[in-house]
Amino acid sequence: MAHGSASGSDSDFSAQRAKDAASRALGDAADKAEEASKHPWFRRAARAGYIASGLLHMVIGVIALNLAFGSAPEDADQSGAIELLASSPLGIILVSLCALGCALLGLWHLSEAIWGRDSAVKDRLKAAGEAVMYFAIGGAFLIAAFGGDQDSGETTSALSARLMSNPFGAVLLILVGIAIVVIGAYHVYKGVSRKFMEDLRSSRKDEIRLAIKIVGIVGFIAKGVVLALIGVLFIVATVRHDPEDATGMDGALRALLDQPYGEWMLAAIGVGLIFFGVYCVMRSRYERQ
């Protein structure tokens, strides 16, 4: 009995030592990851994600302009823009670099959500949300880099159809629509109030400061209007129980064409999205440390 008890104690001691060793290794890995996330070169590399996002918005803006005054074979949304970029000369290299940039920026925002000790809870939640967003955009770029096909409008419509099939899903869709409208309204507020300037460090050149203000104001207002339209379409589609209306950005922009002076409104939105893309590129250079 004594021998069996001693063996059990040795086994428990070994298990505890293994747990302690694993805990120390995990802690060391976390410390190294935190240290790496705060390295200046990692932050500089992560800014490439803003360039990728800017390029994406500029292409969507161009597609919207083509849709306003002619025809656009591509969807006026993220998937259509990425498809257009992938089909360009050196397209695979371009979308691969964009995927890498978005992944790095997503990792940086994730590190802010985890290790931003001086940040308020709302700032951490915002960082976590931005991390998810950039990981998703990076994933879309990565799919294109490997030659995969994607249609965000059809995917959104199919998901909406499944959710509408039960009451709880319908309520969730309405809540999502309301949330998107609120986010859109905040973008408009951020543009009108110039609050976006708080995210940037000031340039010594007056011309650059003025350019950032102009593209930021116009860009945030246009992006906010588009997001609000997307949210409204989600709500209307759910109330009417018609998932075909819930197709995301492409559906929202095409819906403008059915309105009086729709072509001109869509053209204005297209220009605004191009400006927002330019702002994102400039943010990669002038973002506050």
Q: Per-residue pLDDT tens for 240-272?
A: 777 666 667 878 888 888 888 888 999 999 999
Could you give phi then psi for residue 119, rounded to 5 degrees? Answer: -90, 145
Q: Which run of H or E residues covers position 183? A: helix 167-192
Range name among 3-12, 63-72, 220-229, 276-285 with the lowest pLDDT average:
3-12
Question: For the chain, how big is the Rg over CA atoms in Å?
Answer: 23
Helices 206-240 and 262-286, interaxial angle, to 10°?
130
Could you give phi then psi for residue 74, rounded to 5 degrees? Answer: -95, 155
Q: Which amino acid is at 60?
A: I
pLDDT band at 235 (very low <50, low <70, confident <90, very high): confident
Mean pLDDT in residue range 272-280: 95
Residue 16 has pLDDT above 90, yes or no: no
What is the structure's pLDDT at 147?
Answer: 79
Residues 212 and 282: beta-carbon distance below 8 Å: yes
Q: Per-residue pLDDT tens for 46-73?
A: 889 999 999 999 999 999 998 888 876 6
What is the structure's pLDDT at 194?
Answer: 92
More confident residue, 167 or 5: 167
Residue 97 has pLDDT above 90, yes or no: yes
Residue where the block lists tokens 């400061």: 209
Residue 276 has pLDDT above 50, yes or no: yes
Mean pLDDT in residue range 70-84: 79
Query: How far is residue 223's CA from residue 273's CA, in Å, rounded to a whole number?
Result: 6
Residues 98 and 52: beta-carbon distance below 8 Å: yes
